[in-house]
Amino acid sequence: MRTVQIRKVMGTAGLAGLLAVVAAAGSGCGGGESPDLVATLADYSIALSAATVPAGELTVKAVNKGTTVHEVVFVRTDLPEDKLPVVDNKVDEDQVEVVDEIEEFSAGKSRTATFDLPPGRYVLICNITAHYGLGMHTVLTVEQASATGGRRRQLPGRLREP
Ligand SMILES: [Cu+2]
């Protein structure tokens, strides 16, 4: 007897796995954003990268180039920057409108925070004991976006063929 063996070879389709590489084009939001305002803190001064900023979301980077802890307190006031009410060698935060702050941090470090500051005139101070009196204050003006033309316009990307 002849046994005919029929081999059914199942065709295994050698499908090379297709790797769909989705290039996630990181457009827009995300890391590495540059601050809108840089506050450089030293012993004993505060220097800003801009005197006026548009209202709305504001990313502030504070850099401590001093030798001790510093902070940045945002006080909304029309008082002269060196005439805030002082009690016990500190600005009395109960007597002024403190809008926000970057809490104290070490020498040589930096801190970045995002604020949403209402328009107005601000005095930025460091309120570590005695630092205000030693000169850690400066003025920041927050303007209505319409006044500065600070609106963000979204222009369609225009492709020009040569
Ligand atoms: Cu300070």
pLDDT band at 47; cut points 50, 70, 90:
very high
Tell me the CA–centroid distance for residue 75 and ligand 1, in Å: 15
Q: Is the pTM of this model over 0.85?
A: no
Give yes or no: residues 70 and 120 share one domain.
Answer: yes
Distance CA 160, CA 13 (A): 46
Pairing of strands 52-54, 137-143: parallel
Judged against a pLDDT cut of 80, whether residue 18 lies above it is answered with no
Between 42 and 144, name the one with better pLDDT.
42
Whether residues 2 and 63 share a domain: the answer is no
Cα–Cα dist 63/135, whole Å: 17
Domain containing 19: what range? 1-32
**Is residue 159 situated within a structural domain?**
no
23 and 41 share a domain? no
Tell me: do 39 and 107 sit in the same domain.
Answer: yes
Q: How many A from CA of 37 to the centre of ligand 1?
A: 18
Per residue in 90-141, pLDDT tens? 999 999 999 999 999 999 999 999 999 999 999 999 999 999 999 999 999 9
- Distance (Å) of CA 124 to CA 25, 67, 151: 38, 19, 25
Q: 130: helix, coil or strand?
A: coil
Judge if 78 and 150 occupy the same domain: yes
**CA geometry: angle 74, 80, 83, nearest 5 deg:** 90
Element (H, E) at 148: helix 145-148
Tell whether the model's pLDDT for residue 21 goes beyond 90: no
In a domain, 98, yes or no: yes
Band (pLDDT 50/70/90 cuts) for residue 87 is very high
What CATH number is attached to the domain comprising 82?
Answer: 2.60.40.420
Residues 38 and 28 in one domain: no
How large a percentage of the chain has pLDDT more than 90? 67
Asked whether residue 103 falls in the same domain as residue 137, the answer is: yes
Q: Are 46 and 67 within one domain?
A: yes
Q: 52 falls in which pLDDT band (50, 70, 90)?
A: very high
Is the residue at 39 inside a domain? yes
Assess whether 25 and 45 both reside in one domain: no
pLDDT tens for 25-35 read 333 344 457 89
**What distance in Å separates the CA atoms of residue 131 and residue 45, rounded to the nearest whole number?**
8
Question: Does residue 117 sit within a domain?
Answer: yes
46 CA → ligand 1 middle, Å: 9
Q: Does residue 161 form part of some domain?
A: no
Report how far ligand 1's centroid is from the alpha carbon of 131 (Å).
5
- Is the pLDDT at 36 greater than 70? The verdict is yes
Distance CA 46, CA 82 (A): 13
Q: How far is the CA of 143 from the centre of ligand 1 (A)?
A: 26
Reduced to 3 states (helix: H, G, I; strand: E, B; else coil), residue 119 is: coil
pLDDT of residue 125: 98
Tokens of 37: 């305002």
CB 122 within 8 A of CB 31: no
Q: What is the CA(71)–ligand 1 centre distance, in A?
A: 6
Could you tell me the distance, in angstroms and rounded to a whole number, from the CA of residue 69 to the centre of ligand 1?
A: 6
CA of 33 to the centre of ligand 1 (A): 26
CA-closest candidate to residue 107, choices 146, 70, 152, 151: 70
Q: How many domains does the chain have?
A: 2
Mean pLDDT over residues 20-26, rounded?
Answer: 32
Q: Does residue 12 share a domain with residue 57?
A: no
Q: How far is the CA of 123 from the centre of ligand 1 (A)?
A: 14
99 to 80, 117, 133: CA distances (angstroms): 17, 8, 20
